[in-house]
Amino acid sequence: MAGFRLKKNMLIGTASAATQIEGGNLDHSWMDWAKRGYITDGTSPARANDHFRLWEEDARLMGELGMQICRMGVEWARIEPEEGVFSEAALAHYVREIEFIKAQGIKVLVTLHHFTNPMWFERRGAFEKKENIAVFIRFIAKVVRTFGPLVNEYITINEPNVYAVNGYYFGAWPPGKKTLAGTLAVMSHLAQAHILAYRKIHELRAKMGYADTKVSYANHLRIFIPRNPAKASDRFFAKLMDRLFQGSLSKAMCLGRFDFPFRKGGLTRDERSPVKKLDDAGEAPPAAGFCDFHAVNYYTRGTVTKFQDRVKADSFKNDLGWEIYPPGIVLAAQKLYDLCPLPIYITENGTCDNDDRFRSLYLYEHLKALCESDLPVERYYHWCFTDNFEWVEGESARFGIVHVDYETQKRTVKKSGEFLRTVILNGGVDDAAYEQFVAGCRYEPGCIGGPR
């Protein structure tokens, strides 16, 4: 049977990052990276989707498409343009935006850090230096106090492994460094920063009288398989790659367990101890470390030989050359659930499909895999709502269910957007929806870009 039903109480929506949609010539790390000429198509986040001006239009469109949830980010460089100097105007803007989104019947999840740093923080050494964690916590405290009762769900840090590996090991993202020791230090410090941020958010909201606080970090998970399963060395390095990229980091950030190759870096015993929280009934639930839910970002898998991570040769690929592997979303989420049994939010899942040829099929297969699993999946945030500035790919890679003409900023709902609206409306996919939106889609062996 083609159809499937969404899990009970499972909500559907989209995710975005402030740098990728807002626009504005801000003094932050990705604007600096663009000015230095490192964006593939020569664009920059200065234009993006002009969302900072068009936020009402975008929120209305989300409402019209029936989105039930929205993961949105705030721009640190906009809120704190100079060290210790906060823009009340920027904070008031975000308050108005969140209020308006909620007025459309959409629940908001806020991301506090999504790859981008103010340049003054970069010049301080950003997360390479442990002492800078306190600066990050100060920023978080300001935002949480300002949002008060408006927001009860937060992502502290988005994809700490991707931020560290791309910026400090491969040198492909800001700040463009290539050092294994630096990469591991940054990942360790980000884990410490998450733990302290988790504690601070719960502490602040408890003092404000709110017992409904939920905090996590967005965990970028990949599936690593040996290129040659019969080869012992490939099996070994696939396991090692999994541990170095995500396994040990998950333990550190979720449970406060800093196993090889990460280090505690000065967290006290009290800081590593579970936070005392009250549930809706005023009872203290069992301690579950430093996540109230698992936030899973999943896109693809790779084949491993030694320290080489490549795309499976005979696989279907998207327009960036990433393998399309729907079963991986369940395998990735299951690993986290086995580590700690918590509710699961898919906080990112999507694909680069510049012509919207196969996105509906991609959505269908990943949602179906989740809904037919035994996992407690409560949220699915598709990446992303509108096409946006896709980091080093700039405007050349389209992930949205809404097309953006960057010259005119005109928004046009894609067929995949209509499909997602139908999934929400019907609570799943019936045979009619499958025939209308999915049956004609095909993955293609080739791809526009090369593997990243």
pLDDT digit string, tens, across residues 31-78: 999 999 999 999 999 999 999 999 999 999 999 999 999 999 999 999
Distances (CA, A) of 176 to 39, 94, 162: 13, 30, 13
How far apart CA 184 and CA 256 sit, in angstroms, is 16
Nearest CA to 97 out of 153, 50, 52, 143 is that of 52
pTM of the model: 0.94
Contacts of 322 (CB under 8 A, 6+ apart): 299, 300, 311, 351, 352, 451, 452
Beta-bridge mates of residue 15:
71, 383
Q: Residue 130 is which amino acid?
A: K
How far apart CA 324 and CA 451 sit, in angstroms, is 12
Beta-bridge mates of residue 165:
none
Give the Cα-Cα-Cα angle 169, 43, 308 (nearest 5 degrees): 25
How far apart CA 201 and CA 37 sit, in angstroms, is 37
Q: Residue 349 is which amino acid?
A: N
Contact 68, 11 (CB under 8 A): yes
Q: What are phi and psi of 270, to 5 degrees?
A: -65, -40
How far apart CA 444 and CA 362 sit, in angstroms, is 12
- How many other β-carbons are positioned within 10 Å of the β-carbon of residue 83? 12
Contact 70, 14 (CB under 8 A): yes
**Given the DSSP bridges, would you call strands 294-305 and 308-310 parallel, antiparallel or unpaired?**
antiparallel
| pLDDT score of 452 | 28
**Tens-of-pLDDT digits for all 452 residues of the chain?**
589 999 999 999 999 999 999 999 999 999 999 999 999 999 999 999 999 999 999 999 999 999 999 999 999 999 999 999 999 999 999 999 999 999 999 999 999 999 999 999 999 999 999 999 999 999 999 999 999 999 999 999 999 999 999 999 999 999 999 999 999 999 999 999 999 999 999 999 999 999 999 999 999 999 999 999 999 999 999 999 999 999 999 999 999 999 888 876 666 666 666 665 544 444 444 445 899 999 999 999 999 998 888 999 889 999 999 999 999 999 999 999 999 999 999 999 999 999 999 999 999 999 999 999 999 999 999 999 999 999 999 999 999 999 999 999 999 999 999 999 999 999 999 999 999 999 989 887 655 433 32
Give the Cα-Cα-Cα angle 175, 180, 181 (nearest 5 degrees): 95
How far apart CA 110 and CA 144 sit, in angstroms, is 10
**Given the DSSP bridges, would you call strands 344-348 and 308-310 parallel, antiparallel or unpaired?**
unpaired
Q: Which CATH superfamily is domain 4-438 in?
A: Glycosidases (3.20.20.80)
Give the Cα-Cα-Cα angle 415, 17, 364 (nearest 5 degrees): 30
Token pair 């239009």 in the structure block, residue: 57
In terms of phi and psi (left: phi > 0; alpha: psi -120 to 50; beta: otherwise), the region of 159 is: left
| pLDDT score of 265 | 61
Give the Cα-Cα-Cα angle 322, 182, 173 (nearest 5 degrees): 40
